[in-house]
Amino acid sequence: MKILIYILVLFSFSNFFSPLKKYTKTEMVMGTVLSVTAFHTQGGEKLLNELFQLAESYEQLFSSRREDGVIFGINKNSSGILKDDKISDLINQSLYYAVLTDGAFDPGLYRVISLWDIESKQIIPKIEDIAFAMKESGYKNVIVNGEHLQLLHNAGLDLGAIAKGRIIGLLADFLKEKGCYDFLINAGGDLIASGLYDKKREWNIAIADPYNKNETIGFIKLSDKSIVTSGDYERYFIGDDGKRYHHIIDPVTGYPVDNGLNSVTVISDNPTEADALSTAFFVMGIDRALKLAEKLTGVEAVFIKKDEHDEIQIITTQGIIMKPQTGNGFEFGIK
């Protein structure tokens, strides 16, 4: 018995003292590039392989485009039984953010979103088709009663503006359960920075320049926070009229949001909240979004647009500090 205890003690000490190694993995999942950097004592490769498999299964769970997914079936039948707590939980959360943002974030836009089908079609739909799809849209048509879900007026669910945030949160929980606390998960602009880089410093996170894909507007140092960006520069096409048609739909008009904003970044402790609000703030525009952000605790945001002289304007919530860096954009921080 004593020997066993010694061995156990020795084993845990060796684990404790063994140096942290850096593990990284990048692959396409969820229609986006998922990239993870994790500091872990040993077995990091296996851990990250498991994480990527998990990401794939969550994407199947939450996607409305995958024909083998639960949401696809619900949209087809206009009803469904929510057997998996993770699905009912995310649908309820999405309805919560729809009410909080007065419908700017709307999980019931599936018919309009699939009509535009920005990723593959690149055509402006006919005005009457948009009007028809709008009649079949809106979160008020999504009725949840316990585990029963009903979709009125042929509405459909699209959780694309919140699912990635929830998924990175679930992936972060998985890493922590496995004893890994220092990591960065980046799912195409939805990030969680947990713990420290190499136990030494906060993670340094770039905020993308919406006008130049390979550039950054600045950096922010974060630990134990999520940071999510919504913008008009990732998924879009240029119409015959020369206008940009992107993937964030104004639930009032059924057309891509056209309020001058090009990018909204939200920082929060909760990745689901950061994802839902980055889309919602983009739809709401700076004035409305700032009012709501200042009412919420622990939510900060950075808005980027161009003014009438084509000058870049960066506007932030009160909790953000912004210092110019020579030749390197801005250094952002949380007060």
Binding site for ligand AMP (CB under 6 A): 105-107, 109, 113, 158, 160-161, 230, 247-249, 251, 275, 278-279, 283
* Token representation of residue 299: 């939510």
Interaction partner, residue 37 (ligand AMP, Mg ion, none; CB < 5-8 Å by kind)? none
| Residue nearest to ligand AMP according to CB distances in the complex | 160
Question: Among 137, 186, 279, 316, which residue interacts with Mg ion (rule: CB under 5 A)?
Answer: 279
Identity of the residue, 287 or 310, whose beta carbon is nearer to ligand AMP in the bound complex:
287
The β-bridge relationship of strands 216-222 and 225-231 is unpaired
Q: How far is the CB of 27 from ligand AMP (least distance, A)?
A: 19
Contact 249, 113 (CB under 8 A): yes
Q: How far is the CB of 30 from ligand AMP (least distance, A)?
A: 11
Helix (H, G, I), strand (E, B) or coil at 197: strand
Interaction partner, residue 261 (ligand AMP, Mg ion, none; CB < 5-8 Å by kind)? none
Candidates 155, 163, 113, 115; CA nearest to 138 is 155
Helix (H, G, I), strand (E, B) or coil at 269: coil
* Token representation of residue 43: 């077995």
Interaction partner, residue 101 (ligand AMP, Mg ion, none; CB < 5-8 Å by kind)? none
Q: Which stretch binds Mg ion (CB under 5 A): 1-9, 145-153, 248-256, 278-286?
A: 278-286
Count other C-beta atoms under 10 Å from residue 310's C-beta. 7
Q: Is 226 in the site for Mg ion (CB under 5 A)?
A: no
Identity of the residue, 168 or 193, whose beta carbon is nearer to ligand AMP in the bound complex:
168
Identity of the residue, 268 or 278, whose beta carbon is nearer to Mg ion in the bound complex:
278
Distance between CA atoms of residues 244 and 260, nearest Å: 11
Distance between CA atoms of residues 263 and 304, nearest Å: 5
Q: How far is the CB of 28 from Mg ion (least distance, A)?
A: 19
Interaction partner, residue 105 (ligand AMP, Mg ion, none; CB < 5-8 Å by kind)? ligand AMP
> Can you name the residues that pair with 268 across neighbouring β-strands?
226
Region 161-200 residues binding Mg ion, contact defined as CB under 5 A: 161
How close are the terminal C-alpha atoms of the chain, in Å? 53
Helix (H, G, I), strand (E, B) or coil at 100: helix
Question: Among 139, 275, 304, 317, which residue interacts with Mg ion (rule: CB under 5 A)?
Answer: 275
Q: How far is the CB of 43 from Mg ion (least distance, A)?
A: 33
The one-letter amino acid code at 223 reads S
Q: How far is the CB of 327 from Mg ion (least distance, A)?
A: 31
Q: Which helix (H) or strand (E) holds 8?
A: helix 2-17
Q: Is 94 in the site for Mg ion (CB under 5 A)?
A: no
Interaction partner, residue 247 (Mg ion, ligand AMP, none; CB < 5-8 Å by kind)? ligand AMP
Q: How far is the CB of 200 from Mg ion (least distance, A)?
A: 31
Strand ranges in the chain using DSSP code E only, listed in sequence order: 21-29, 32-40, 79-81, 142-145, 148-151, 182-187, 190-194, 203-208, 216-222, 225-231, 236-238, 244-246, 261-268, 300-306, 312-316, 320-324, 330-334
Distance between CA atoms of residues 132 and 155, nearest Å: 11
* Token representation of residue 252: 């009032």
Interaction partner, residue 277 (ligand AMP, Mg ion, none; CB < 5-8 Å by kind)? none
Candidates 20, 16, 48, 19; CA nearest to 34 is 48
The one-letter amino acid code at 254 reads G
Q: Is 278 in the site for Mg ion (CB under 5 A)?
A: yes
Q: How far is the CB of 278 from ligand AMP (least distance, A)?
A: 6
Which residues of the chain form contacts with Mg ion (CB under 5 A)?
161, 275, 278-279
